Each structure stands twice: as C-alpha cells, then as structure tokens.
C-alpha cells in the first residue's frame, strides 16, 4: 500500500426510514419462528407496508495518504458524519469497502468514547487501552494531555460534570496525543473558544507534519482552507468535487448560491416594505455582493474586486443622504468603515422612489476567511441613520475570501489584511 493510510472504494450506506420496530418479547420471537413457514406460503402481497430507504452515502471512492489533511465539506445530511462513522467502525457499509492502515483516533461528537461516570484520568487510560496502548505509553503522554486540555483541577472529577467546552478539550487532547496514525475530527472544534480552536488547529498541522493522516469535517470554510490542502465536497451522499481545498470550497459555496432563489440572493427584510410606512423617509430594501463581472456571488478570490450594491426606497424625496458600509470578521472584529461622505464623487442628489447605489472595492486585501457586511443610510444634515441592515437586527451578509494559490500562506492567524511589503538588507549603523 506504500504511503496510503485510507482507501475507500465504492462505499455506500443505506438506512431504512419510517416505521420503528416495536419491542419484542421471547414469546413473540418463538411464535414467529413457528408460524414463519406458513406465513411464507400463504402471505398476501396486499396491505404489506413498503419499506422506505435513503442512501446516506453512494459510490464514494477516494484515498488519503500519510501526512495528508483531507477536508470534508457539505450541507447537513450530505453524509459526512456517516462516512467518518464507517471509517471508525461504528457502523458497517451497505456496499463497498474501506481499508484502514493504522491506528484510528476519532473525535466525532461530544462524549464519543468517554464514560460519563469515570473521571477524566480514568477516561484517558480507558481510551488509551481501546487504542491498544500500554500503560507505560499512556503514562508518558498523560501530563501533556492534561496540560493541553487545561483541565488540571478537574482531572479526578467524573466527566459527566464537565461543561461541553471542557469535555471537548479533553476529548481532542486524548485523540490527538495518544499517537493515532489516523485522526478523524467532526465539527467538534466549534464548541471550544477561539484560543483553544487555534491551539487545536496548530496541533492538527503538527500531526500532519508527523506523517499522520487526518480527515477534518467542518462547516467553517476558513478553517478548512487553513488546515487542508485537499478537500472533498459531499452532496446527497455522493462526491461532487475532489481537489485542492480552495477550489472545492469555491465550488461548494457556488452550489449553495445556486440553490437559493433569486430573491434570497439579496440580503433583505424578513417582512416586505410597506409603501405606506412612514416610520422613516428612506429604507434599505436589500444588499447584493457582485464580482467584477457583475454576477451575484458570496465567494471572492484574494485581491479580487468586490462590488456592494445597496437597494433603497425613498418614501419622500431625500436630499443627498450618505451611505456607510462596515466590514467585519466573523468573530466580531471591525475591519473598516467605507463612508460615502469622504469620496468626492459620492453625490447622490435627491433620492426618490426605488433605486440603488454601488460601492466598488477594486482589490480586496483580506486574507482567506469569512467576513460580514453591514450597511446604513444616513441623514446628511443630522447624521442620524434613516435605516440599517446588519446592525440592530443582525441581518448581516456574509462573504468568503479564498485563495487558489497554495503559495499564499497568509491566513487569519497572521492577521486580517495582507499588506504588501519589501524586505532588503542595507548597510547602515544604528544612530546612537
């Protein structure tokens, strides 16, 4: 097999849905066994319920090499967790097979592999034993696991008393430190705080450098783009795209945009604008994000053009209002505010009825990640906002920055904005 850690061939999993099987006693089982031959001979096809099935996975094939981090993305119900459960031997496939070459550490959901009545210490040794490790090996890793999980004070407390964050910290620490050749991680990092997520991601990158294979499932596209060079997009149990992470993420986000109705591609109100509404002279109907070709999109490449189009409705003539656009990170850091007052050509005159204004950012210097747009329209005289989207109502519009260039190593852990710079060695002495 060489350097292949996981090989999956035509893997399929079918589930029966609908009627639940009732509880059966021993008497029922014996009676059925006696009557079975007669029921087989004389059974009627009429009135028998037809079972309903769903394919959680269908004809999935791929390989993962040692030292490779494979991101797996897709909507809820796409089959991501089912795939990891098969690879973890929690459930068996209906068709196809999966070859696993190495010891598997799984972190599929909060609580997997932990006994709630046992303490943190006891669960560490239990999980190590399940992985086939000797007590001396676990002893050698124990202090490192506890320090990484930051649960020193509670290590001898039953884990049923742990918070979800403590539980996940310990579970990840155990899965990552007990030397698995293959690590399966399913969305559990979302429970931890920002600093712990960053520590976990650094650990994943370290494990990949130690020639360990990692399958990483997440709905956070910026994290997938950060830790994985390759990704698989699952849709309704099938692989829709397999390739470089940035390209697969772009295909997934484009697919989501295609699935939305045209009316949903605009960030709008939960209720329609009423023409008789006199609560404010001017309202924002919605906001569109467009690429340099004028197509609606939520995915943009690093250093690409972003056009933000604001649709409004003036119920009475409004004299030259100004617009404000604020860009935020998805974790609440304000990046910048683009205010139309400070641009010489942003003279909109008198607004009447429905219309739109557009702000063009020629080159987005944002590093790959998820960002948010919030918009306001202001009274030019008083400075008070007529209306806003994404401020008080939380109805902000997300967009994603990706990079198809693997040499672009900057990411959100290096900052938010990529500032061009040149380094030179110069012959100069420090002024005393």
386 neighbors 282 (Cβ within 8 angstroms): yes
pTM: 0.64
**Integer Cα distance of 339 and 59 in angstroms:** 52
Q: Tens digits of per-residue pLDDT, 276-286?
A: 555 788 888 88
- CA angle, 191 as apex, 143 and 123 as ends, to 5°? 35
Q: Tens digits of per-residue pLDDT, 353-387?
A: 889 999 999 988 888 878 888 899 988 888 888 88
Q: In which band, very low, low, confident or very high, does the pLDDT at 9 lie, cut at 50, 70 and 90?
A: very high
Q: Tens digits of per-residue pLDDT, 12-65?
A: 998 887 655 555 565 666 666 666 565 555 454 555 455 688 889 999 999 998
- The stretch 250-275 carries a mean pLDDT of 56
Is the model's pLDDT at 409 over the cut of 50? no
Name the DSSP letter for residue 90: S
Is the model's pLDDT at 2 over the cut of 70? no
Nearest-CA neighbor of 384 among 306, 291, 318, 302? 318
Name the DSSP letter for residue 263: G
Long-range contacts of 144-151 (CB under 8 A, 24+ apart): 144/177, 145/170, 145/173, 145/174, 145/177, 145/178, 146/120, 146/173, 148/173, 148/176, 148/177, 148/199, 148/203, 149/120, 149/173, 149/174, 150/196, 151/120
What's the sign of the alpha-carbon dihedral 128, 133, 137, 139? Answer: positive
End-to-end CA distance of the chain: give it in Å, rounded.
Answer: 64
> Residue 264's pLDDT is what?
39
**Integer Cα distance of 17 and 55 in angstroms:** 10
Q: In which band, very low, low, confident or very high, does the pLDDT at 345 lie, cut at 50, 70 and 90?
A: low
């Amino acid at each position: 097999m060489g350097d292949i850690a996981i090989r999956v061939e035509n893997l399929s999993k079918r589930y029966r849905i609908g009627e639940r099987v009732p509880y059966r006693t021993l008497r029922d089982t014996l009676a059925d066994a006696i009557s079975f031959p007669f029921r087989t001979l004389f059974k009627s096809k009429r009135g028998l319920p037809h079972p309903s099935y769903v394919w959680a996975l269908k004809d999935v094939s791929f390989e993962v090499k040692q030292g490779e981090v494979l991101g797996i993305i897709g909507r809820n119900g796409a089959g991501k967790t089912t795939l990891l459960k098969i690879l973890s031997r929690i459930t068996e496939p209906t068709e196809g097979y999966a070859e696993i070459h190495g010891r598997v550490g799984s972190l599929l959901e909060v609580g997997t592999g932990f006994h709630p009545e046992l303490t943190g210490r006891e669960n560490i040794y239990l999980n190590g034993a399940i992985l086939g490790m000797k007590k001396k090996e676990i002893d050698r890793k124990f202090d490192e696991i506890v320090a990484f999980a930051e649960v020193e004070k509670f290590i001898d407390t039953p884990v049923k008393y742990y918070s979800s964050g403590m539980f996940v910290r310990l579970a990840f620490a155990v899965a990552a430190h007990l030397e698995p050749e293959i690590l399966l991680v399913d969305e559990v990092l979302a429970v931890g705080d920002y600093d712990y997520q960053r520590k976990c991601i650094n650990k994943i990158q370290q494990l990949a450098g130690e020639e360990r294979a990692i399958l990483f499932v997440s709905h956070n596209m910026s994290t997938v783009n950060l830790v994985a060079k390759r990704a698989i997009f699952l849709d309704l149990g099938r692989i829709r795209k397999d390739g470089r992470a940035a390209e697969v993420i772009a295909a997934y986000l484009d697919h989501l945009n295609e699935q939305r109705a045209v009316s949903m591609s605009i960030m709008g109100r939960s209720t329609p604008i009423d023409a008789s509404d006199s609560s404010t002279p001017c309202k924002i109907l919605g906001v569109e994000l467009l690429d340099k070709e004028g197509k609606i999109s939520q995915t943009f490449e690093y250093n690409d053009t972003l056009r933000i189009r604001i649709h409004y409705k003036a119920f009475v003539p409004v004299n030259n209002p100004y617009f404000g656009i604020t860009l935020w990170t998805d974790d609440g850091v304000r990046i910048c505010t683009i205010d139309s007052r400070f641009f010489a050509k942003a003279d909109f005159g008198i607004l009447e009825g429905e219309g739109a204004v557009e702000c063009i950012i020629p080159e987005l210097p944002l590093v790959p990640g998820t960002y948010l747009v919030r918009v306001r329209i202001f009274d030019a005289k008083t400075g008070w906002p007529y209306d806003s989207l994404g401020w008080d109502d939380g109805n902000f519009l997300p967009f994603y920055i990706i990079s198809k260039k693997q040499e672009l190593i900057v990411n959100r852990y290096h900052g938010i904005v990529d500032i061009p710079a040149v380094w030179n060695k110069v012959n100069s002495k420090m002024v005393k």
